[in-house]
Amino acid sequence: MKKVIVACGGAVATSTVAANKIRELAKKEGIPVEVTQCRVNELESKKDNVDLIVTTAKVKKDYGVPVIHGVAFISGVNIAATEEKILDVLKK
């Protein structure tokens, strides 16, 4: 089971959209995934045992796991490229 955290500024609106898209993508690809949501400022305390962090806010800090900017799920721009990056991590 892969573990993904989706983080945004408020842990409600944009992270919910992105989290749902990631769940759908993983299901379509047959990848078991657990997706949780949080605020960007909570990432440091929640990053342990996580395979991937997807953010809808700008994050420059290194958390020791891959971080993918998931604003494409909100804007609709470059969704395929973002999905490909996520799948690259989840398929490892």
Residues carrying an active site annotation = 8
What CA–CA distance (Å, rounded) separates 26 from 43? Answer: 22
Single out the residue of 63, 78, 92, 59 nearest to residue 21, CA to CA.
Answer: 78
Cα 51 to Cα 7: distance, rounded to the nearest angstrom? 14
Locate 2 and state its tokens: 């892969």
